[in-house]
Amino acid sequence: MHRRIIAPGALAAASLLLAIPASAASLSPGAPGIGDPYYPDYGNGGYDVSHYDLRLQYQPKTDELQGTATILAKTTQDLSSFDLDFLLNVSEVRVNGAQASFATSGQHELVVTPKTPLAKGAAVTVVVRYSGVPSAKSAYGFTTWHRTPDGAVAADEPEAAWWWFPSNDHPSDKATYDVSVAVPDGTQAISNGTLQSTSSKLGWTRYNWRQNKPQATYLATLALGRFDITTSTSDGGVPVINAYSKDLGDNDGAARASVERTGELVDWLSGYFGPYPFSTAGGYVPNTTTGYALETQTRVYYSPKQFANGSNTSVVVHELAHQWYGDDVSLKDWKDIWINEGFARYAQWLWSEHEGEGTAQELADYVYASHPADDAFWTVKPGDPGPDDQFDIAVYDRGALAIQALRNEIGDDAFFAVLKGWPKEHAYGNASVADFQRYAEQVSGKPLAALFHTWLFQPSKPAAPAAHTASLVKAGTTVTQPKSWKRIEATNDVHGH
């Protein structure tokens, strides 16, 4: 053995190099957040999921959920460990077949350390076995798992997955899904996409749902309860699957009179947005006490309260518009929420126009005139509203007003080409407000930076543009409320957190 005399500092460095394999020099844990400026710990760093396979069993009496999630992913960096977002009790985690160690951390992190570190670009299969009572779990003091008298519903944004499956919970990591759920006979399980099959054994019925197009985690939904399931096909050939709680009481008729028009409305929206992007459409109405609706992919969630005053096709149009604006093309970060809510609201304005209950311009005029310059409404920037105002009414109404300003600026031909071209341009992907501006400039051939700044980013009431003073009324003018106004405003996917 030869002993060399070297300086202490060099010795430490040499030991370090000997202790760690050369390839592991860049090994590090995946970040506990994917980098969203509004929600720093949402999603995770270091990998990208392509598929979730969820095999679940649910007992409505006790709200007990148990399951096995098999997650197919690819690493985007060398990883010593990585996080999943999850709240239920985990009994076992396997990575590429081998048992992995795991621990909880932060509000909703499951930290997984595989036996063997993972190299960048590797295909990874993660199996998580778990169980728990979702309604007993909370993070940041809230739960988005909503119990009903006969079951439960998972449908919320910006987070809902934590309560029922481990995930990389951020819209920028979209994946396909197989969701298989066993429930006691007489209970139904509703999820996204196509119902592949059902089977019954020993008092339990299993529902096998498949979402074969990329889907953001917050758009994955699960409803468990006693449902009446209806099926039909639109004139345009889109299969429709709807479900209604058997306990909707007085709201039952109005709910069906609205949601059963899904096929007709999907076809109508296709005229503006292009071909429907998914294999099925539809919605479900559970007997929840929550008040909102949500654009859960292919299977929209509607609170029965949306139909408490009679049928409401406006809310159906809003949520179906999201299937293109939000679900097919998803936001890159939560600050891009205008792409979702501005356009879904604008679709309601187009429907109002179609129904003869007020044109989009009349609705824009009404929004502009009904908020004086000192109204806090104008301090919300739809293009970057901040996490506290992400679902503020201004994101919807001022957001749609911005779209009418764009229409006036570039003219109907270019405007409707943009509306229809955008979902094709970013099909099944993610895009930002800046991407939308660039696309509208490309299609229209007009520079639009000033217009986007004024209507989406200026924290004060925009002046009525000189070229459109005739159409955009001045502050203080009384404008007649369009007939569709109240129903449009009653639609919301606004949440308590």
List contacts with Zn ion (CB under 5 A).
Answer: 341, 344, 493
In the complex, least distance from residue 38 CB atom to Zn ion, rounded to whole angstroms = 17
Cβ nearer to Zn ion, comparing 78 with 493: 493
Nearer to Zn ion, 79 or 344 (CB): 344
Our CB check for Zn ion shows the closer of 254 and 344 to be 344
Minimum Å gap between C-beta 493 and Zn ion is: 4
Least separation in angstroms between CB 170 and Zn ion: 18
Question: Cβ closer to Zn ion: 333 or 493?
Answer: 493
Residue whose CB is less far from Zn ion, 100 or 350 = 350
In the complex with Zn ion, the residue whose CB is nearer, 252 or 319, is 319
The CA distance from 127 to 209, in Å, is 19
Whole-angstrom CA distances from 480 to 243, 259, 369, 426, 461 are: 38, 30, 10, 38, 20
Task: Report the residue number, 90 or 344, with the smaller CB distance to Zn ion.
Answer: 344
Kindly list the strands in the beta sheet with 151-154, ordered across the sheet, starting from the edge strand earlier in the chain.
Answer: 145-148, 151-154, 222-225, 188-190
Q: Which lies closer to Zn ion via its Cβ, residue 159 or residue 341?
A: 341
Q: How far apart are CA 210 and CA 266, in angstroms?
A: 20
Residue 298 or 408 with smaller CB distance to Zn ion? 298
Judged by CB, which is closer to Zn ion: 327, or 409?
Answer: 327
CB of 302 to Zn ion, least distance (A): 12
Contacts of residue 364, defined as CB under 8 A and 6 or more positions apart, other chains included, come to 349, 400, 401, 404, 405, 471, 472
Query: Are residues 226 and 246 in contact, defined by beta-carbon separation less than 8 angstroms?
Result: yes
Min dist CB 492 to Zn ion, Å, is: 8
* Residue closer to Zn ion (CB basis): 358 or 399: 399
- Among 317, 313, 339, 314, smallest CA distance to 328 is for 339
Helix/strand number for the chain, H first, E second: 10, 22
Nearest to 400 by CA among 426, 425, 367: 367
From the list 42, 23, 45, 27, the residue with the least C-alpha distance to 106 is 42
Residue 89: Cβ within 10 Å count: 13
- Largest Cα separation within the chain, whole Å, is 95
The CA distance from 243 to 299, in Å, is: 9
Cα–Cα distance, 65 to 156 (Å, whole number): 18
* Backbone φ, ψ for residue 233 (5° rounding): -135, 135
Residue 283 CB, nearest distance to Zn ion (Å)?
13
Name the minimum Å distance from CB 415 to Zn ion: 21
DSSP result, 370-394 = HS-TTSGGGGS-TTS--GGGTT-HH
Give min distance, CB of 391 to Zn ion, in A: 8
Whole-angstrom Cα distance, residue 89 to residue 102? Answer: 11
Burial of 379 (0-12, 13-18, 19+ CB in 10 A): middle
Minimum CB distance to Zn ion smaller for 280 or for 348: 348
Which segments of 322-470 does DSSP mark as H helices, in order? 338-354, 360-370, 393-425, 433-444, 449-452
Q: Is 469 left (phi over 0), alpha (psi -120 to 50) or beta?
A: alpha
Query: In whole angstroms, what is the distance from residue 461 CA to residue 220 CA?
Result: 37
Q: What is the DSSP string of 1-45?
A: -------HHHHHHHHHHHHS-GGGTT-EEPPSS---SS-TTSS-S
Q: Are 232 and 263 within 8 A, CB to CB?
A: yes
Give me the least distance between CB of 101 and Zn ion, in Å please: 41
210 contacts 164 by C-beta, under 8 angstroms: no
